[in-house]
Structure 1
Amino acid sequence: MRSLLRTRTRTPMMAPLVRDSALVWLASGVVGVSFGAIAVAGGLPVWVPVLMSLIVYAGSAQFSAVGVLLAGGGPVAAAATGLLLNTRTAAFSLAVADVIGGRGRLARFLGAHLVTDETVAFTLAQTDPVRRRAAFWVNGLGLFAAWNTGVLAGALAGSALGDTAAYGLDAAFPAVLVALVLPALREDAGIRQAAVLGAAVALAVTPAVPAGVPVLLALAGLLVYGRKRATA
């Protein structure tokens, strides 16, 4: 009886989460198609982007790593570039530690693998702790499935979709991410100040540092936000 009541209370909560996550899943699949197509059109075998998406699962890091490989760089340079870009997820993991913690080791490992910009933003947009936990797993698992399905489709399509800019596919993820963070920016002045500081730092260093580094340096805005939260 108790399990039946739990099922009934979870069902109305899941439907809106799935509905709200659908746009993110769609964008993920579309950009996944572009990634698979770019990788294969550049000369990599189909299994490379597919396996990378399953194991690495980090969109921007995957694009950068494949870019290094296609430019003639070795696997070590490609891996280093991907790791550099993906270090920002350490901060994201701290933000959702209460969501993926407190469970079995396998669940924590899977949860850590599902941490992405979009999933964390979607999770933190929820106010209720129970809804936040459900949002993380619904959005994270769906995003993982959509991304890998898109990558496989793009890899199989090969060079037919190689020019992703012509279709506007390269703008899909940034647009969705902006839509996700806008509510938090409107509601919290501290987040707005941190975002402005991070954006200013990124813009200032962009001409002088390699691609991907401005994103890491933009995390300086989180230090200001963390200090204000600590003194509040």
Structure 2
Amino acid sequence: MAEQTEIRTSPRAAAPPPPPAKPDSAVVRDALGVGVAVGLSGFAFGVTSAGAGLGLLQTCALSLLVFTGASQFALVGALAAGGNPFTAAAGAFFLGARNAFYGLRLSAVLGYRARIRPLAAHWIIDETSAVALAQPDRRTARLGFTVTGLTLYTLWNLTTLIGALGAGALGDTDAWGLDAAAPAVFVALLAPMLKDGVERAAAGLAVVLVLVTLPLLPTGVPVLVSALAAPAVLLVQGRRERAAGSGAVRAAAAPSARPEGTAELRDATGEDRA
């Protein structure tokens, strides 16, 4: 009894300390690094778009108004390969739809007022979300989001214009392989973030689905099929967790292995007596 009373009155474990503050200079440095690295690949989009037959105004309008590199490359890539415009637009739409989920998460992190949210929503993409979510508090999250968004939006549109204007001087744009520049940068930024086993499984399954369906389905459709990887992996993971939970409940409900008729008595000295 004395031991039980001591356990009840023992103090609670101390709460974990708050994350250390991050210097503004470090946040700006990281944000500029991401913004410049990805923003320069807008040149590749401008060249690829012009090579796909889009005009200068159409190319620049995509970067100004859509502003999501993966969707833009998916659209012009599907058109360049002779894909149906509706299929190409559908692939680009579903790739861009992930930004809506980023917005749900960033809405609580950034905490912008209602009148600022529509403007901030235009900058919610993979890179700005990654930088903002990596910060320890709201102030630095806003700083990282703003610097990344401003840098990336400016450079992406400027280099898109330069690429579209200079596409004619490059000759055969397919020979340069510039259409792979932005996806390569995206993969380089995304890969270090895949630390969880579920995330890696979803990414790996998506790659497999694209490689398997690419020679079988029309252009743009394999991208849509790859989106099934995430719910498939989550479904399997959920079943495993439920099975593990059921096993734990059965183990807890199982009768004790101690022989019947014995009882353990504990006195103040801590010695066990049968």
What's the TM-score, normalizing by structure 2?
0.64
Query: Structure 1 residue 22 and structure 2 residue 32: aligned?
Result: yes
Cα distance change, pair 53–222 in 1 and its aligned pair in 2 (3 A): farther
Identify the residue that residue 86 of structure 1 maps to in structure 2: 96
- The CA deviation at 1:16 is 2.7
Secondary structure of 2:227 counterpart? helix
Q: Does 1:196 align with 2:178?
A: no
Instruction: Give, in whole Å, the separation in 2 of the partners of 1:87 and 1:176.
Output: 16
Q: Is the 8 A contact 2:167 2:173 kept in 1?
A: no
Q: Deviations over 1:159-213 (max 9, x none)?
A: 334537747773455346534662x55xxxxx51221221232134221363323
**C-alpha contact (below 8 Å) 1:202/1:218 kept by paired residues:** yes
Mark the runs of 5 or more structure 2 residues left unpaired by the alignment. Answer: 1-22, 246-274
The alignment status of 1:43 with 2:43, answered yes or no, reads: no
1:211 to 222, 245, 249: 222
Aligned: 1:149 with 2:149: no
* Counterpart Cα distance in 2 of 1:164 and 1:93: 35
Following superposition, the deviation at residue 85 of structure 1 comes to: 1.7
1:32 to 42, 49, 53: 42
Q: Residue 32 of structure 1: CA displacement?
A: 0.6
Which of 117, 136, 146 in structure 2 is aligned with 1:137? Answer: 146
Alignment coverage as a number of residue pairs? 209
CA distance 1:154–1:20, shift in 2 (3 Å): same
Of all paired residues, the percent bearing the same amino acid is: 35
* Counterpart pick for 2:134 among 125, 129, 145: 125
Letter in 1 for 2:33: L
- Structure 1 letter corresponding to 2:38: S
Partner SS, residue 212 of structure 1: helix
Point out the structure with max Rg over C-alpha. Answer: 2
CA contact (8 A) 2:46 2:164 kept: yes
Q: Which runs of 4+ in 1 moved over 4 A?
A: 72-75, 221-225
SS at match of 2:196: helix
Q: For structure 1, which segment, 86-95 or 145-154, has the greater mean C-alpha deviation from structure 2 after superposition? A: 86-95
Alignment correspondent of 1:9: none
Matched with 1:7 is none
Structure 2 Cα separation of the partners of residues 136 and 24 of structure 1: 11
Distance in 1, matches of 2:168 and 2:121, equals 33
CA shift for structure 1 position 217: 2.8
Q: Which has the higher helix share?
A: 1
In angstroms, what is the RMSD of aligned CA positions?
Answer: 3.1
d(CA) in 2 for partners of 1:202, 1:176: 15
What amino acid does structure 2 have at the position aligned with 1:57?
Answer: F
Residues 82, 120 of structure 1: CA spacing in aligned structure 2 closer, same or farther, 3 A cutoff?
same
Give the superposition deviation at 1:131.
0.9
Unaligned runs of 5+ in 1: 1-11, 186-190
- Cα deviation, 1:94-129, whole Å, max 9, x if unaligned, reads 221213444133x11121111111111111111222
Contact 1:119–1:140 (CA under 8 A) maintained in structure 2:
yes
